[in-house]
């Protein structure tokens, strides 16, 4: 079974973001075995093992759908079905760190795609998430230019040079509600 079908099955019953399956196809065909953004790789965890370290409450697990890695250590991007929303086009994207921490990073999937143009792993701890590139030590992902061109040509989404501005905007809208929601299931 290919990744598109696996993702469709995993997210069955939910309205998929318009650009999700095209991005999976891009990743499989254009990027192949190379990364187009640091730390990002599609991943489906049907058992939700990482999320279960926070809570096994069905209300918690049924509201989060992890779909990709956010770094090389097991942190993951999830769709958050805020207020029972089932349209993933409008779902905030959140990240759960492998060492702890949970934060909103984007208003929606389109913004996550734009965050990925920054080509940096999410740096996640309990207090914050940020995206940073050392200007003296940064090497772009092998397929980052291909991704930038594809994203601009197919969707008119431009490359960014300040990922944290997207995160700050999304957090201004959703972070407090997300913290309060997670606190119903998990206390640090």
Q: pLDDT tens digits for 20-74?
A: 999 999 999 876 778 999 999 999 989 999 999 999 999 999 999 999 999 999 9
Examine residue 89 and state whether it is found in any structural domain, yes or no.
Answer: yes
Whether the Cβ atoms of residue 82 and residue 64 lie closer than 8 Å to each other: no
Examine residue 30 and state whether it is found in any structural domain, yes or no.
Answer: yes
The position carrying tokens 């492998």 is: 98
Domain span at residue 112 reads 3-183
Region 108-123 average pLDDT: 97
Examine residue 155 and state whether it is found in any structural domain, yes or no.
Answer: yes
Examine residue 39 and state whether it is found in any structural domain, yes or no.
Answer: yes
For residue 141, give every residue at least 6 positions away whose Cβ sits within 8 Å of its Cβ, in sequence order, or none.
34, 35, 36, 37, 38, 119, 147
**What total of structural domains would you count in the chain?**
1
Work out the pLDDT band at 3, boundaries 50, 70, 90.
Answer: confident
Pair type for strands 93-96 and 41-42 = unpaired
Examine residue 79 and state whether it is found in any structural domain, yes or no.
Answer: yes
Examine the pLDDT at 1 and tell me if it is beyond 60: no
SS3 content of the chain, % helix, strand, coil (to 5): 40, 15, 45
Examine residue 59 and state whether it is found in any structural domain, yes or no.
Answer: yes
Measured between alpha carbons, how far is 166 from 112 in angstroms, rounded to an integer?
9
Examine residue 10 and state whether it is found in any structural domain, yes or no.
Answer: yes
Looking at residue 13, the DSSP 8-state letter turns out to be T
Examine residue 188 and state whether it is found in any structural domain, yes or no.
Answer: no
Could you report the per-residue pLDDT of 32-45, keeping only the tens digit for each?
A: 778 999 999 999 98
Three-state SS for 48-83 is CHHHHCCCCCHHHHCCEEEEEECCCCCCEEEEECHH
Measured between alpha carbons, how far is 1 from 175 in angstroms, rounded to an integer?
36
pTM value surpassing 0.85 = yes
pLDDT value of position 2? 67
């Amino acid at each position: 079974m290919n990744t598109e079908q696996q993702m469709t099955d995993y997210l069955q019953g939910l309205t998929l973001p318009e650009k999700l399956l095209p991005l999976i196809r891009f990743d499989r065909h254009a990027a192949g075995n190379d990364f187009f953004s640091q730390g990002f790789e599609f991943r489906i965890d049907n058992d939700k093992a990482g999320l279960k370290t926070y809570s096994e409450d069905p209300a918690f697990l049924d509201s989060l759908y992890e779909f990709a890695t956010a770094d090389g250590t097991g942190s993951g991007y999830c769709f958050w079905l805020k207020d029972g929303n089932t349209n993933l086009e409008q779902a905030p994207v959140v990240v759960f760190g492998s060492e702890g921490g949970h934060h909103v990073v984007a208003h929606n999937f389109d913004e996550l795609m734009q965050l990925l143009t920054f080509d940096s792993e999410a740096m996640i701890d309990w207090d914050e998430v940020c995206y940073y590139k050392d200007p003296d030590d940064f090497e772009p992902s092998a397929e980052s230019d291909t991704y930038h061109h594809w994203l601009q040509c197919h969707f008119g989404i431009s490359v960014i040079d300040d990922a944290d501005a997207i995160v700050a905007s999304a957090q201004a809208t959703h972070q407090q509600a997300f913290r309060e929601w997670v606190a119903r299931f998990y206390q640090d």
